[in-house]
Structure 1
Amino acid sequence: MLTRRRFLGYAALAPAALHPSLWAQVASQSTTDLPAPVISAKALAIHKRALVFDGHVHALDREFYHGGSMGTRSPVGQWDLVRAREGGVGAFFLSVFIPEEYYPSRFETKQAFRRVDHALRQLEMNRDQVELALNADDIERIRAKGKLAAVLDIEGSYDLDGDLGVLRDLYQLGVRSAQLSAHNWDQNYADACCSPPKWNGLNEHGRDLIREMNRLGMVINVSHSSDQTISQAIELSDVPIVSTHHGLRAINDIPRNMPDNLLKKLAAKGGVMGFQIGSEFAYPREYAWLTEHRHKTFWDTTSIPDRVKGKTIYEVDELVAPQFPMLGAQVPESVQMAVDDWVAVVDRAIQLVGEDHISIGSDFDGGPTLAKGMRDVRDLPMITDAMLRRGYSEERIDKFWGGNLLRVFKQITQTRG
């Protein structure tokens, strides 16, 4: 049985201590035994020089629920600091993810602070490799020392419940980005993409939250938000809006993806959209296969209240632990997405709004089914190679990998914090 001590992140567990069901996932889904892809010398040189600023990574779910250090190479999942460095990553939004299971019993705010505490401890534990970044100058300073820069991002701000005092407390702890909507759950101030609307976007409490985030200099992240929430947030904010991990609805018609009109609106305000790396968002053929074989929609949360009823927060920990890290599904090669398929989706967005508004938000360890031949974060240079095959200039590649997100992050944080 998992213990409270492990959940608080104090134990550096040996692999044998990991939850048995997690090892079952490893046995069936691990890509670590795949051969390393062949990358052109030009792509490797460009990738090594670029700032790779990933807008969304589930960097610490595994360590919170199963112990260990993010600074140690893991046989489990898609991301750790060692492999991230090998993949050329220089900075990343570290998702402080609060699963929906904590919400029915109103444990979400406590869990948010537990997860922030755990993240700060992990960053301190691995200070020789990574540092917390509060603004764009920090990112450049940290990178100059040869370290990775981490930006804390609350995923599913229902843990705030719209409380501006809690928002300010999280800001003081170092959180610099918050998603307006719950992961896929309704809440008290902003409608989510995949739940019935309550407010037709934002209510006045939600609008107050945006104003306070503007004042503090926090990134307003609209991933997982409803169309109306996204539209209203863009209109209300006095700085650009960021969507850290999205896809295009014109490619895969699911509510989690961004429609063209909203992407244009986001770009017109100077915002940036990060592309989630998985086939659930970007490849309809593979998504259809996955949906058929899951026998339910990917974001079905209807059974959660019954499953968590009467449980303590530590029992909820035990309930959700086996799902982390969230590994991509195994799919037949006949329906598997290729890297060039994924870059074609990115290219469509660039044709729509230009190269200054598109970035990467991989969602590693958050469930994406990776492209054919991609093992994990080590293989991000496969995307650079595919972009070169598509005729992209080095300038466009640099903007995609980090230039655009860094520019907006600087604009939001430079006069604040």
Structure 2
Amino acid sequence: MQRHALLCCTLMLATAASAQEPPEAARRLAQDATIVDTHIDAPGILMDKWADLGIEAPDREFDYPRARAGGLDVAFMSIYTSAKRDEDGTAWQAAHMQIDAVEALAARHPDRFAILRSPGDVDGLRAGGRVLLALGMENGAPIGDDLAELQRFFDRGVRYVTLAHSANNRISDSSYTLQKRWNGLSPFGREVVAEMNRLGIMVDVSHLSDAAVRQAVELSTVPVIASHSALRHFTPGFERNLSDELAQAIAAKGGVIQIPFGTAFVNPEAAQNIQAYFRAAYDFDRRNAELEAAGSPTEDRQAFEAQWEADHPTPSTKIDAVLDQVDHAVARVGVDHVGIGSDFDGVGGNLPDALRTVADYPNLVAGLQARGHSDADIRKILGGNLLRVWTEVEAGAGPR
């Protein structure tokens, strides 16, 4: 519910100051380390309302000035398509339009942005203070039934694909759906994983059902990622977050779990609310289908959504909730398999205190330092681990 479909009406101003200024040591490390954030939802908003993210954009959580202030080097732009777009056949067009928007942004500001297609290009392209824009496709719906579309999206720069999103699709079951379709991956989904391995596209298991995550990890010949998934240890019963067992399976394959910042993922009350929402929405849709079949007036979806929002306000959350996630992940899977995937611009402003925009990575660094993580380990968490995995996936690719 707190995702993209409601973003236009729930996006909050993202200019709130951090709870406190981070120490200078944290600022220096954030600027010196290579920070890779694997999930920023700027492209979808650009399609709804263009903003020049090369200059200050106060109604967004990502823009160039704040990215540089926070030390961000590589920002994976989320090429997101909804389940509805999958159903009505517009996912392919929407994905290409979002890629166009990212390319336009980079073309407007070649001194500030560059498109990143390979981890080996990071040092060269970021010279001069550029923020590098990599592409991750959130939801495999745009490829339709055609494996050849993966090659076409690879050629446009897509370097990870989240196999499904909020609903089951042709590729995989979703963690959010109450009724699974494939008991994991579909037969086509297994082909998709193999083709992604061949091309050098990272397989992203965020949003997938437990069975689908397990199967994707087993089938992939290279490490997989969870681009923005927290750990279920703190949110019991919330399948959207990874169990310790699944996180350990990803790590055993050499992969990385990218911890998100969104309140719904790291706050237990918010996680319970989103689980309850999907159950209520399922009941609402079933009830309306029955009313429609009986020839009776259906209930208003917009009114249902508005009432749900009113009855379930987002709880206030501190940065400690994210730090707890990182600590638990490091303890369970090892520091070499943990990273960050914020979900900035994708959760309607529902973020912890002190992690409100891309300017706030130094606050995360300060929190990790205060909890005893070494600077070397923090560098791994901020981006080193993800770049290692990306390099391995690229090296494992076959002829294209």
Q: What TM-score results when the alignment is normalised by the length of structure 1? A: 0.82
Q: What SS is found at the alignment partner of 1:198?
A: coil
The Cα of 1:277 is off from its aligned counterpart by: 0.5
Identical counterparts, % of pairs? 29
Q: What SS is found at the alignment partner of 1:338?
A: coil
CA distance in 2 between counterparts of 1:248 and 1:349 reads 7
The Cα of 1:393 is off from its aligned counterpart by: 0.4
CA distance in 1 between counterparts of 2:376 and 2:280 reads 37
The one-letter amino acid paired with 1:69 is D
The one-letter amino acid paired with 2:50 is G
Contact 1:63-1:70 at 8 Å conserved across structures? no
The one-letter amino acid paired with 2:256 is V
- Tell me the residue number matched to 2:326: 346
CA distance in 2 between counterparts of 1:391 and 1:281 reads 24
CA distance in 2 between counterparts of 1:287 and 1:198 reads 23
Contact 1:47-1:384 at 8 Å conserved across structures? yes
Per-residue CA deviation, residues 47-75 of structure 1 (Å, 9 max, x unaligned), is 11111100111122222211232212112
CA distance in 2 between counterparts of 1:132 and 1:138 reads 10
- Tell me the residue number matched to 1:283: 267
Q: What SS is found at the alignment partner of 1:296?
A: helix
1:60 paired with 2:43, answer yes
CA distance in 1 between counterparts of 2:63 and 2:333 reads 33
Structure 2 counterpart of 1:360, from 321, 326, 340:
340
The alpha-carbon distance between structure 1 residues 201 and 299, as it changes in their structure 2 partners (threshold 3 A), is farther
The Cα of 1:298 is off from its aligned counterpart by: 9.3
Contact 1:330-1:369 at 8 Å conserved across structures? no
- Tell me the residue number matched to 1:191: 173
- Tell me the residue number matched to 1:94: 77
CA distance in 2 between counterparts of 1:391 and 1:74 reads 35
Q: Which runs of 5+ in 1 are unaligned?
A: 1-20, 307-319, 324-328
- Tell me the residue number matched to 1:168: 151
The alpha-carbon distance between structure 1 residues 38 and 301, as it changes in their structure 2 partners (threshold 3 A), is farther
Structure 1 counterpart of 2:240, from 250, 256, 260:
256
Per-residue CA deviation, residues 362-389 of structure 1 (Å, 9 max, x unaligned), is 0000006221244322111111111111
- Tell me the residue number matched to 1:13: none
Contact 1:162-1:209 at 8 Å conserved across structures? no
Contact 1:191-1:200 at 8 Å conserved across structures? yes
Q: What SS is found at the alignment partner of 1:56?
A: strand
1:375 paired with 2:350, answer no
The Cα of 1:406 is off from its aligned counterpart by: 0.6
Structure 2 counterpart of 1:393, from 370, 374, 391:
374
Between the two proteins, the alignment pairs up a number of residues equal to 370
The one-letter amino acid paired with 2:186 is N
Q: What SS is found at the alignment partner of 1:82?
A: helix
Which segment drifts farther, 277-286 or 42-51?
Answer: 277-286
The alpha-carbon distance between structure 1 residues 244 and 291, as it changes in their structure 2 partners (threshold 3 A), is closer
Contact 2:18-2:353 at 8 Å conserved across structures? no
1:9-408 aligned at under 5 Å gives the runs: 29-34=12-17, 37-181=20-164, 183-195=165-177, 196-253=179-236, 254-288=238-272, 296-297=277-278, 300=281, 335-367=315-347, 369-408=350-389
The one-letter amino acid paired with 2:351 is L
- Tell me the residue number matched to 2:291: none
Per-residue CA deviation, residues 113-160 of structure 1 (Å, 9 max, x unaligned), is 222222222222222111111111112221234211121111111121
Over the aligned positions, Cα root-mean-square deviation in angstroms equals: 2.8
Per-residue CA deviation, residues 74-108 of structure 1 (Å, 9 max, x unaligned), is 12021122211111100021101112332222111
CA distance in 2 between counterparts of 1:66 and 1:379 reads 24
CA distance in 1 between counterparts of 2:52 and 2:280 reads 29
The alpha-carbon distance between structure 1 residues 93 and 191, as it changes in their structure 2 partners (threshold 3 A), is same
Q: What TM-score results when the alignment is normalised by the length of structure 2? A: 0.85
Which segment drifts farther, 348-357 or 407-416?
Answer: 407-416
The one-letter amino acid paired with 1:262 is L
CA distance in 1 between counterparts of 2:54 and 2:141 reads 29
Which segment drifts farther, 134-143 or 225-234?
Answer: 134-143
The one-letter amino acid paired with 1:78 is E
Q: What SS is found at the alignment partner of 2:48?
A: helix
CA distance in 2 between counterparts of 1:43 and 1:118 reads 33
The alpha-carbon distance between structure 1 residues 35 and 413, as it changes in their structure 2 partners (threshold 3 A), is closer
Contact 1:286-1:337 at 8 Å conserved across structures? no
CA distance in 2 between counterparts of 1:250 and 1:404 reads 22
The one-letter amino acid paired with 1:224 is H
Contact 1:52-1:91 at 8 Å conserved across structures? yes
Contact 1:56-1:362 at 8 Å conserved across structures? yes
Per-residue CA deviation, residues 197-236 of structure 1 (Å, 9 max, x unaligned), is 1111112211111111111111111111111111111111
Q: What SS is found at the alignment partner of 1:53?
A: strand
Contact 2:259-2:325 at 8 Å conserved across structures? no
The one-letter amino acid paired with 1:65 is D
Q: Which runs of 5+ in 2 are unaligned?
A: 1-6, 289-301, 306-310
